[in-house]
């Protein structure tokens, strides 16, 4: 596939990611994706012949990888402890949420909540992505000397705290729940 084809595919995925995060799976119709991406219908089916679920899978996979890469980057460049790294991660997500006027929260949560009972392949993708994020956070804690079991439990608690704070921040249209989550994570981890 040439550069133009790659760019078209990337525009489709980017538009899908933005729409899914802002309004969910059901409200993200293919016509809306085409309009937002500025691509012709034929390009959609050329790049994603299996249709909407294939496109959504790619969008969620990329969103999950982006978050994993961010955790890894913060982990690799840190000079502070795990609590500070997690605080920075929450701060970045809070800033992203504010910049989007609270339309964006967790890149997976909107879809995960909506389709977990009805779409097994997307539910599994979301579950696997959340598990990867938890593992990355746990590895960060293990490097600080926590036992693997304690690190995994703490990472799960931090992930749940973060996801809940993103939901509350979006609903309240305030970053306060995220700021509180950052402080709570610090207390949990120190």
Residue 90 covered by a domain = yes
Residue 21 covered by a domain = no
Rounded CA-CA distance 62/85 in Å is 22
Q: Do residues 165 and 89 touch, judged by C-beta distance below 8 A?
A: no
Q: How many CA atoms are closer than 13 Å to the CA of 164, on its beta-carbon side?
A: 11
Residue 94 covered by a domain = yes
Residue 139 covered by a domain = yes
| pLDDT tens for each residue of 178-190 | 999 999 999 998 8
Residue 98 covered by a domain = yes
**Count of domains for the chain:** 1
Q: Do residues 20 and 56 touch, judged by C-beta distance below 8 A?
A: yes
Domain CATH code at residue 91: 1.10.357.10
Residues with pLDDT less than 50, the chain: none
Residue 17 covered by a domain = no
Residue 1 is predicted with a pLDDT of: 62
User: What range does the domain containing 80 cover?
Assistant: 53-189
**Residue 108 CB contacts under 8 Å (≥ 6 apart), including other chains:** 60, 63, 64, 126, 129, 130
Residue 40 covered by a domain = no
Assessment of whether the complete model's pTM goes beyond 0.85? yes
Q: What are the Cα distances from residue 108, in Å, to 17, 59, 126, 169? A: 9, 10, 7, 16
Residue tagged 């994993």 (tokens): 68
Residue 110 covered by a domain = yes
Residue 78 is predicted with a pLDDT of: 52
As a three-state string, the secondary structure of 5-38 is HHHHHHHHHHHHHHHHHHHCCCCCCHHHHHHHHC
| pLDDT tens for each residue of 59-96 | 999 999 998 888 888 877 656 678 888 888 999 999 99
């Amino acid at each position: 596939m040439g550069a133009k084809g790659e760019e078209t595919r990337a525009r489709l995925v980017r538009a899908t990611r933005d729409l899914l995060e802002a309004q969910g799976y059901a409200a993200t119709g293919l016509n809306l994706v085409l309009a937002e991406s500025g691509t012709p219908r034929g390009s959609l089916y050329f790049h994603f012949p299996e249709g909407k679920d294939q496109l959504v899978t790619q969008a969620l996979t990329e969103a999950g990888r982006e978050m994993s890469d961010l955790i890894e980057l913060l982990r690799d460049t840190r000079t502070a402890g795990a609590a500070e790294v997690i605080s920075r991660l929450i701060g970045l997500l809070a800033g992203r949420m504010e910049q989007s006027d609270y339309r964006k929260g967790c890149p997976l949560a909107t879809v995960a909540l909506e389709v977990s009972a009805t779409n097994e392949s997307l539910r599994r993708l979301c579950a696997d992505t959340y598990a990867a994020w938890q593992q990355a956070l746990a590895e960060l804690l293990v490097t600080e000397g926590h036992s693997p079991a304690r690190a995994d439990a703490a990472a799960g608690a931090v992930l749940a705290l973060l996801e809940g704070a993103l939901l509350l921040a979006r609903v309240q249209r305030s970053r306060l729940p995220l700021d509180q989550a950052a402080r709570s994570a610090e207390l949990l981890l120190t």
